[in-house]
Amino acid sequence: MKKTLLFFCVVLLLTNYNGYAQRKCGIVQVKNALIAKDANWQNKIEAQRSSLQSMADNYLQQKASGAAKTTAASPIPVIFHIVVTADQLTQMGGYTGVQTRCDSQIAVLNCDFNRENSDSTIIPSGWKPLYASVGIRFGLAHTQPNGWSTPGYEVIIISNSDNGFMPGSDGYYSDVKHTAKGGIDAWDVTKYLNVWCFNFADGGNLGLTLAKSMASGATANEEGISLTWLALGKQTIAGDLKFPSGGKFIRGRTLTHEMGHFFEIWHTWGDDFGKCAWNGGVDDGIADTPPEADHKYGIPTDTIPGGTIYDDCILNGTAPMQPIGVASLDFMNYTDDVAMAMFTTQQAAAMAAHVAPSGESYSLTQNPGLLNWPANAGVAPVGMDNGLNIFPNPSDGIFNITFNDITDELKNINVVDVVGQQVQSIIPVHAQKDYSIDLSGMSKGIYFVRCNFASGSITRKILLQ
């Protein structure tokens, strides 16, 4: 049966985050791009989808017999590559906002993937038995591939005249994943889960994922998740950080949804333009997500006692197929952040199979050391006080900072005013000894430069005159 399609015409002002009227993800865009390159991808993707259920069943059998671990060995190190304009960085709340967003985003992922989300109270009784833990945990990377420290994110500022990144000839914004093309290269994809945050210059997508099975050969270093810059993190206090469309995507679920694609599960409705599986449509390959015609937007009003809502796939012949409704509250639907709260048992099992010892993402769970700040080597950083110079001081605008030693423990350099308000922050570049602070245009007076290291900090007073 063919469902009535609703066509939404959303006029997007390209730099206007209010343009996101509802969720849209680029997984179909990726799929189409792969098929355009090589027609065999059609069969590969269909084979992958039809193998999902047996993959989940096998995992659950192994788990029941004790042969499979119920949780990953260690959290997966996540690195956020943030490629934004100076104006966009300001809208994100500056470096402090970026840190807050990254911290809250990791917390959201850990709750959502481990059945710990406090808003699970919205799950109706009919769905409660399916509310599942994937058992995968995540953490901010604190050691870079070369052994240097990292806060778990890196920020590259692009020109304000740039409006982010277009899909490009490959169709999935790969330029942002290459330093040589104005983005940031991936970190070792066998050890880190790479997330790029930037503006999708063609508008519309909140996120887009290139899963491991989709990336190989020349594109191997492009695997990972692309996220629109303003969907990063969770709003913890009303209005504390800006998010698309104000309230729709404020709980960090865009990355939860994309992470589902990273672990190779699909949208619950199968992306088949409104069809049912028994009538020419495609299912999501997962048995415990009921047949579903098309995506659900917004915050659906549940109409089934103990369940959610029906849609056009309610009947196959005369057999009711949706006794508890469709999976509108599933993380792999298109509802608003506040309306989604769970993965199902078999979605969880299909994803967990990827981090089991024979799974494609197993290696990501085997590097707990990357979650730690690097151990101090040689002299403790705070002991390097004498090796740090700031000049000229006083200055009428530019202050130069030079570290006389390799500052591999340096996490950031923050400048605060006399009332403790942060006015500038610098993320160190590994092996770089020289930095400058530009306070031109700031009020004259005393400021403090705080150099934060893994084991302590050094604060110096400077005078702007």
Residue number, 46 or 434, with CB nearest to Zn ion: 46
Spatial CA neighbour of 53 closest among 358, 360, 265, 285: 285
Stretches 21-29, 43-51, 189-197, 226-234: which one binds Zn ion (CB under 5 A)? 21-29
Q: Is there a contact between 140 and 69 (Cβ–Cβ < 8 Å)?
A: no
Nearer Cβ to Zn ion, position 149 or 335? 335
Piece of the chain touching Zn ion by CB under 5 A; list 19-27, 86-94, 248-256, 275-283: 19-27
Q: Give the C-alpha separation, 327 to 309, whole Å.
A: 8
119 or 271: CB nearest Zn ion: 271
Distances (CA, A) of 268 to 272, 319, 329, 362: 11, 20, 10, 25
Q: Which is nearer to Zn ion, 41 or 373 (CB)?
A: 41
* Residues contacting Zn ion: total by CB under 5 A: 2
Instruction: Measure Cα distances from 168 to 5, 111, 138, 199, 430 in Å.
Output: 28, 35, 30, 14, 30
Min separation Cβ 45 and Zn ion, Å = 14
Q: How far is the CB of 25 from Zn ion (least distance, A)?
A: 3
290: amino acid identity, one letter: P
The least distance separating Zn ion from the CB of residue 334, rounded to whole angstroms, comes to 8
Six-digit token string for 101? 């967003």
Question: Which CB atom, from 340 or from 384, has the smaller least distance to Zn ion?
Answer: 340
Q: Does 27 bind Zn ion (CB under 5 A)?
A: yes
Q: How far apart are CB 257 and Zn ion at their closest, in Å?
A: 5
Nearest to 415 by CA among 355, 379, 453, 459: 459
Closer of 25 and 458 to Zn ion (Cβ): 25
Contacting residue, 25, 208, 230, 427, with Zn ion by CB under 5 A: 25
CB of 226 to Zn ion, least distance (A): 12
User: Shortest distance, CB of residue 230 to Zn ion, whole angstroms?
Assistant: 18
Tell me, what amino acid is at 426?
I
> What span, in angstroms and rounded, lies between the C-alpha atoms of 395 and 399?
7
How far is 187 from 445, CA to CA, in rounded Å?
41
Please give the Cα distance from 124 to 122 (Å, whole number): 6
b/e per residue, 341-377, with b = 16+ CB within 10 A? bbbbbbbbbbbbbbbbeebebbebbbbeebbeebeee
The smaller minimum CB distance to Zn ion, of residues 25 and 439, is found at 25
Site string for Zn ion, 217-246 (x = CB under 5 A): ------------------------------
Nearer to Zn ion, 27 or 415 (CB): 27
Q: Is 208 in the site for Zn ion (CB under 5 A)?
A: no
- Minimum distance between the CB of residue 186 and Zn ion, rounded to whole angstroms? 21
d(CA 297, CA 372): 39
Beta carbon nearer to Zn ion, 27 or 401 = 27
Tell me which stretch binds Zn ion (CB under 5 A): 25-33, 91-99, 119-127, 421-429: 25-33
CB of 263 to Zn ion, least distance (A): 12
Indicate whether 349 belongs to the interface with Zn ion (CB under 5 A): no
Distance (Å, rounded) from C-alpha 193 to C-alpha 215?
Answer: 13
Q: What is the DSSP string of 297-364?
A: EE-----STTS----GGGEETTEE--TT---TTBTTSEE-GGG--B--HHHHHHHHGGGSTTSTTGGG
Q: CB of residue 308 vs Zn ion: minimum separation in angstroms? A: 19
Please give the residue ranges that form the binding site for Zn ion (CB under 5 A). 25, 27
